[in-house]
Amino acid sequence: MDHSPGFLRLVDEARARVHEIAVTDVPRRVSAGARFFDVREDREWDASHPAGAEHLGKGVIERDIERLVPDTGAELLLMCGGGYRSALAADALQRMGYTNVHSVAGGWRAWQAAELPVVRG
């Protein structure tokens, strides 16, 4: 996807503040108790998504996260299509007081490339 310079600048600033993890680290962290959220749009989620993920779109994550995960110390893993929106969402959650948030580098494309389990719509 061809992203605009302003968007890329915003993502780069967020990535400077957010910890990214490899897609291959997700299953182990989820097994240890991390919550794994796919922050893509509804239509993307409906088509297919990572097995074990919960859906909470980037457009509503700030609104709904405190109800779903009241513990601001809980480990949260966020994934989108390529790691851009998840970095922005992770940055926002950190500003809300969440202290153990990670963006999944490479996102959905990296998940598929690693041949990790998928749920088809």
pLDDT tens-place string over residues 60-75: 999 999 999 999 999 9
The span from the CA of 21 to the CA of 85, in Å, is 15
pLDDT tens-place string over residues 57-116: 999 999 999 999 999 999 999 999 999 999 999 999 999 999 999 999 999 999 999 999
Specify burial of residue 90 (Cβ count, 10 A radius: 0-12, 13-18, 19+): buried
pTM of the model: 0.95
Please choose, from the candidates 39, 84, 46, the residue with its C-alpha nearest in 3D space to the C-alpha of residue 62: 39
> Angle CA(110)–CA(47)–CA(43) in degrees, nearest 5?
100
Catalytic residues: 80
Per-residue pLDDT at 1 exceeds 90: no
Structure confidence at residue 121 as a pLDDT band (50, 70, 90): confident
Helix axes 84-95, 61-68, angle to 10 degrees: 60
pLDDT tens-place string over residues 17-56: 999 999 999 999 999 999 999 999 999 999 999 999 999 9
5-120 homologous superfamily: Rhodanese-like domain (3.40.250.10)
